[in-house]
Amino acid sequence: MSWMYPRPMPSRSRQLAAGRPLAEQVRSRLAEGMAAGEWKPGEAIPSEAQLARDFGVAIGTIRKAVDGLVAQQALVRRQGKGTFVAAHDPGRLMFHFFHVVGRDGTKSYPEVTTLDFRRDRANAKDAAALGISPLEKVIRIRNVLSLGGRRAILDDIALPAELFPGLTEKIFLARDNTIYHLYQSRYGINVLRTDERLRATLATRAEAQVLGVGEGAAMLEIRRLAYTFRDRPVELRISRVDSEHFEYHNTLGKAEPI
């Protein structure tokens, strides 16, 4: 199944079609522009007034479209400065996407060691999750994540190879930021949300050896799909967590003082 990101749109060709809500069309066009690299991570998009002129619509329509992208965490508003393309960095990883903590609630940035990087063919489960054809090429990555000096998580990642052309082990290991930042900065793939399923499992002999636990030890398995614009799945990640020393903690929403 072939799926490609659109090329950047010249600013002069932002005409909108009839039949769809204008704000929805503007939101889609802005999302396409970000995915295609028209605006880079951390870069400001044009002002609402400029976008209104470009698209030939009211500022209220632009504001509604931008609000939708802010809600998706694709854009970030900075008071007095403008609206910027959200950039994946360690802070965003820890706040939005990483939910494993110590049993005492301590949250620390993971130290990642890559154990394996290879190209393979998708199996049936990969294909169904990633929306690709069976036997299509995938990139498989196995990482072990340590927290506070102790091995905590064994990650198996599958990526549709078509979306990551030229990605090699050397490039992957040389990244100077998060994995999601690499997706965004090199391939224009902005992970907007993840869908996670959790279940209890037991450590296999191989998993036990990697994580330094006993064979058959209680583990937490997290199956995560990462999505970009248009709900396109771009990464399947299976994590096995040492649940004797670590646990899953995800706070939804923000507590407000009463």
All CATH 1.10.10.10 domain ranges of the chain, comma separated, are 22-85
Q: CB neighbours (10 Å) of residue 31?
A: 22
Confidence class for position 122, pLDDT limits 50, 70, 90:
very high
All CATH 3.40.1410.10 domain ranges of the chain, comma separated, are 90-248
For the stretch 52-70, pLDDT in tens is 998 999 999 999 999 988 8
Percent of the chain with pLDDT over 90: 57
For the stretch 177-235, pLDDT in tens is 889 989 988 888 888 888 999 999 999 999 999 999 999 999 999 999 999 888 899 99
> Which of 76-85, 189-198, 238-247 has maximum average pLDDT?
238-247
Contact 244/217 with Cβ under 8 angstroms? yes
Structure confidence at residue 132 (pLDDT): 97
Range from 85-94, 102-111, 119-128, 235-244 carrying the lowest mean pLDDT = 85-94
The CATH number given to 22-85 is 1.10.10.10
Residue 256 token pair = 């407000």
Question: What angle (nearest 5°) sits at the alpha carbon of residue 27, between those of residues 189 and 196?
Answer: 50
CA distance 75 to 69: 6
Confidence class for position 253, pLDDT limits 50, 70, 90:
low
Domain covering 90-248, topology: Chorismate lyase (3.40.1410)
- The CB-based long-range contact list for 151-154 (8 Å cut-off, 24+ gap) reads 151/210, 151/211, 151/212, 151/242, 152/100, 152/110, 152/211, 152/241, 152/242, 152/245, 152/246, 153/100, 153/110, 153/211, 153/239, 153/240, 153/241, 153/242, 153/246, 154/207, 154/210, 154/211, 154/239, 154/240
- pTM, entire model: 0.76
- In Å, how far are 207, 225, 241, 242 from 202, measured between CA atoms? 9, 22, 10, 10
* pLDDT for 31 beyond 80: yes
Structure confidence at residue 177 (pLDDT): 87
* pLDDT for 94 beyond 60: no
Confidence class for position 39, pLDDT limits 50, 70, 90:
confident
HEC assignment per residue over the chain:
CCCCCCCCCCCCCCCCCCCCCHHHHHHHHHHHHHHCCCCCCCCECCCHHHHHHHHCCCHHHHHHHHHHHHHCCCEEEECCCEEEECCCCHHHHHHHHCCEEECCCCCCCCEEEEEEEEEEECCHHHHHHHCCCCCCEEEEEEEEEEECCEEEEEEEEEEEHHHCCCCCHHHHHCCCCCHHHHHHHHHCCCCCEEEEEEEEEECCHHHHHHHCCCCCCEEEEEEEEEECHHHCEEEEEEEEEECCCEEECCCCCCCCCC
Residues 6+ apart with CB under 8 A from 107: 94, 101, 249
